[in-house]
Homo-oligomer: A and B are copies of this chain.
Amino acid sequence: MVQIPDPPAPPSSPASRPVPTSADVARLAGVSRATVSYVLNNAGAVRISEPTRRRVHEAARELGYVPHAAARSLRAGHSRMVLMPAPPVPAGPLYSQFVHDFQQALGRLDYTVVQYGASGLRGDEAARAWAELRPVAVLVPGPGIGPEGVAVLKRSGARAVVTLGCDRVEGAHALLLDHETVGRAAARHLYDRGRRRVGVVVPRERSLDMFSRPRLAGARAALDGTDATVTELSLAYTEESARALAARWRELGLDAVFAFNDEYAVLVLSALAERGVRVPEDTAVIGADDLLLGRLVRPRLSTVHIRLPSGRDLAELVDRAVRNPGTPPESRELLAATVVGRESS
């Protein structure tokens, strides 16, 4: 091997040695790159003598060699990466828990879950950005993708695309979170308890629209054609906003409120209590998501319980789809939305 004088080093990297490659390991161990690969990957098909193995391992350790995942999967032609685009809004407790479970479960199946924070792009642009990573499967939260996006992903090798949102997308497996059902269940519950002037809290945070709009629509739908009215109430997740809302409570003349979720509901509850509005006597309150929080406040909060998929179930669905890419996409209804009536309604 001839020593070629280095070109004048670029000033950007002052003294940093280049990252060691398998060739470096081979050189140091006095073997070929092929042997290095065999040893480090415990290739069963090939027998390598014990002394050689040791020399290779030692050389690798000494250089701090770490294989290059991109090169590896480029050569292999596939990876076991499951991509999850990060949602455009900070994760809530339900979602955090779900992602965590999902990661654990897929990890046990030997996949690697990657949450990819490529915000700023949207629609097909985003799908292309995800496809560049050549994931074996993609789990898309919310309405972040359309049929063309799914097609792009599949054409670039994704063996399963799963959407976790309100509506079915052509070509993708769907976990349907039917938020309208949540709104409908809440509204019907309030109606059954004799309430007729129902407020629906809609978060001012626009990033929650994808959840809040369907919930509002569901409530509207449930009460349409009855003698009850629905009033949309815009609310930011701050005490000031809640106080402002409570201040005009009497003039609103509502006898019930469905508050998007338990966190907003507790916020409302607190502001109403401050103004002396009695719950549930003057106004019934119901939230959604059945967070522990709702059981801790007084009066205990009525809520709509949502049964999310267990991370394990979903991991198995993904695994099945990956092993068997021919099968037509499944759709699963995931919102068995059931009302949990407690003290506040």
Contacts from A to B (Cβ < 8 Å): 13-17, 19-20, 64, 66-74, 86, 89-93, 96-97, 99-100, 103-104, 106-107, 112-120, 128, 131-134, 151-152, 154-157, 237-239, 266-267, 269-270, 273, 292-293, 295-298, 325-326
Contact present for B325 and A296 (CB under 8 Å): no
Quote the shortest CB–CB distance from A41 to chain B (angstroms).
Answer: 13
Closest 9 CB pairs of A and B: A103-B117, A115-B115, A70-B70, A113-B117, A69-B132, A90-B100, A270-B296, A64-B155, A66-B131
Beyond A92-B96, A106-B117, 13 additional pairs, beta carbon < 8 A: A66-B132, A74-B74, A86-B113, A89-B100, A104-B119, A107-B118, A112-B118, A113-B116, A115-B116, A237-B292, A239-B296, A266-B296, A270-B296
What residues of B have a CB within 8 angstroms of the CB of A14 in the complex? 325-326
What residues of B have a CB within 8 angstroms of the CB of A13 in the complex? 325
Quote the shortest CB–CB distance from A344 to chain B (angstroms).
Answer: 14
Q: Chain B residue with minimal CB distance to A83?
A: B114
Contact present for A120 and B132 (CB under 8 Å): no
What residues of B have a CB within 8 angstroms of the CB of A73 in the complex? 70
Q: How far is it, in angstroms, between the C-alpha of A229 and the C-alpha of B134 when the chains are bound?
A: 58
Q: How far is it, in angstroms, between the C-alpha of A97 and the C-alpha of B70 when the chains are bound?
A: 30
10 pairs across A/B with beta carbons < 8 Å? A15-B326, A64-B151, A66-B132, A86-B115, A89-B100, A90-B93, A104-B117, A107-B119, A107-B120, A270-B295
What residues of B have a CB within 8 angstroms of the CB of A86 in the complex? 100, 103, 113, 115
Quote the shortest CB–CB distance from A82 to chain B (angstroms).
Answer: 9
Q: How far is it, in angstroms, between the C-alpha of A194 and the C-alpha of B117 when the chains are bound?
A: 48
Q: How far is it, in angstroms, between the C-alpha of A68 and the C-alpha of B103 when the chains are bound?
A: 25
Contact present for A157 and B107 (CB under 8 Å): no
Q: How far is it, in angstroms, between the C-alpha of A295 and the C-alpha of B326 when the chains are bound?
A: 53
Q: How far is it, in angstroms, between the C-alpha of A134 and the C-alpha of B117 when the chains are bound?
A: 17
Q: How far is it, in angstroms, between the C-alpha of A182 and the C-alpha of B155 when the chains are bound?
A: 52
With A74-B71, A273-B298, A325-B13 in contact, is A115–B114 under 8 Å at CB? yes
Residue in contact with A91 in the complex, picked from B96, B295, B326, CB distance below 8 Å:
B96
Q: How far is it, in angstroms, between the C-alpha of A132 and the C-alpha of B151 when the chains are bound?
A: 30
With A96-B90, A155-B19, A267-B292 in contact, is A68–B134 under 8 Å at CB? yes
Quote the shortest CB–CB distance from A118 to chain B (angstroms).
Answer: 6
Contact present for A69 and B134 (CB under 8 Å): yes
Q: How far is it, in angstroms, between the C-alpha of A266 and the C-alpha of B262 when the chains are bound?
A: 15
Quote the shortest CB–CB distance from A345 to chain B (angstroms).
Answer: 18
Quote the shortest CB–CB distance from A270 to chain B (angstroms).
Answer: 4
Q: How far is it, in angstroms, between the C-alpha of A74 and the C-alpha of B93 when the chains are bound?
A: 38
Contact present for A112 and B116 (CB under 8 Å): yes
Contact present for B114 and A70 (CB under 8 Å): no
Q: Chain B residue with minimal CB distance to A86?
A: B103
With A112-B116, A156-B19 in contact, is A67–B103 under 8 Å at CB? no
What residues of B have a CB within 8 angstroms of the CB of A90 in the complex? 93, 96-97, 99-100
Quote the shortest CB–CB distance from A121 to chain B (angstroms).
Answer: 9
Residue in contact with A16 in the complex, picked from B70, B266, B295, B325, CB distance below 8 Å:
B325
Contact present for A64 and B266 (CB under 8 Å): no
